[in-house]
Amino acid sequence: MKVTKRIHDSFKESSLFLDDIITNFETKGEDFGNQDRNSLKLFKTGDKVFNVKSFRIPNIVNQIAYKFFRKSKAQRSYEYANKLKALNVGTPEPIAYYEYKTPFLFKKSYYISEQLDCDLTYRELTTDFNYPDYDNVLRAFTRFTFDLHEKGIHFLDHSPGNTLIKKTDTGYSFYLVDLNRMEFKNLDFETRVKNFSKLTIHKSMVEVMSDEYAKCSGENYDAIFNLMWNLTEEFQYRYHRKRRLKKKLKFWKKG
């Protein structure tokens, strides 16, 4: 099986360590985070901690697509991280990606970034309304999202667990993770507002985000709120309908 890799110039001196990480991924490292869809592990070397995401082997159609027609999730994650850095948008430091391929099929891929410790993610804001400085954190997150939009960044996985938040002396810093689905283009009004629709089920949060986005953009608050709330409800309806269908399918398979 052929292995291709790309290592950032800043981490070339760690290439042997990185090769060992990937070769021995199954037996070394420390499990990190949710392991349901893809495997995440941490590897320590000196004073650095590397975060390695192992993507599942795709279905046969995508094995062909990733081999011949599309960039892999690992490659896109690496390239998008570098693009975000160039645009002065926070994301953990991109280190490398590795891909395993046969002559006709794509198999495994890995994305390596520097582990970034955070104080919270957006998810905590959806569950703890008494979090210290809550309103300011939520408004700062909204300004961060506005800045993404102004820079032509459409983060398609803008969901609760994919923004890390760190407290600073001057406020809060934000870092995007899970980067393989992004677009870089001018965003119209509806696309910008729709980008908030996966974040929360709480109307009070949508009200705050709409208010802050209106202040940033100069757009009408009511227009933003009505659209954001409608799109949020539509997303929740589709999400729960999909989950109900999955449960029915599992029940039929068991039967």
Mean pLDDT of 216-242: 92
Whether residue 49 is contained in a domain is answered as: yes
pTM over 0.85: yes
Indicate whether 36 pLDDT > 60: yes
pLDDT tens track for 117-146:
999 999 999 999 999 999 999 999 999 999
Indicate whether 249 pLDDT > 70: no
Q: How far, in whole angstroms, is CA 28 from its chain's centroid?
A: 25
Whether residue 251 is contained in a domain is answered as: no
Strands 163-168 and 94-101: unpaired
> Residue 199 is part of which domain span?
120-240
Q: Are residues 42 and 132 in the same domain?
A: no
Q: Are residues 102 and 149 in the same domain?
A: no
Q: How far apart are CA 31 and CA 51, in angstroms?
A: 10
Six token digits for residue 207: 């009200």
Contact 165/121 with Cβ under 8 angstroms? yes
pLDDT at 168: 93
Q: Which of 114, 149, 183 is the last residue of a domain?
A: 114
Tell me the pLDDT band of 92, cut-offs 50, 70 and 90. very high
pLDDT at 49: 95
pLDDT at 8: 97
pLDDT tens track for 39-76:
999 999 888 999 999 999 999 999 999 999 999 999 99
Q: Are residues 91 and 137 in the same domain?
A: no
Collapsed DSSP state (helix, strand, coil) of residue 211? helix
Question: If we measure between CA atoms, which residue out of 92, 95, 79, 75 comes closest to residue 10?
Answer: 95
DSSP assignment letter at 114: E
Collapsed DSSP state (helix, strand, coil) of residue 151? coil
Q: Are residues 125 and 110 in the same domain?
A: no
Q: Are residues 104 and 124 in the same domain?
A: no
pLDDT at 35: 62
Longest dimension (CA), the chain: 58
Q: Are residues 167 and 188 in the same domain?
A: yes
Q: Which of 114, 144, 176 is the last residue of a domain?
A: 114
Q: How far, in whole angstroms, is CA 105 from its chain's centroid?
A: 26
Question: If we measure between CA atoms, which residue out of 123, 138, 143, 133 comes closest to residue 200?
Answer: 123
Contact 42/49 with Cβ under 8 angstroms? yes
Q: Which of 75, 90, 114 is the last residue of a domain?
A: 114
pLDDT at 252: 60
- Output the DSSP codes for 70-96: S--HHHHHHHHHHHHHHTT---PPEEE
What's the structural domain count of the chain? 2
CATH no. for residue 96?
A: 3.30.200
HSE at residue 126, side-chain half, CA atoms within 13 A, is: 14
Beta bridge partners of 49: 44
Six token digits for residue 41: 């592990």
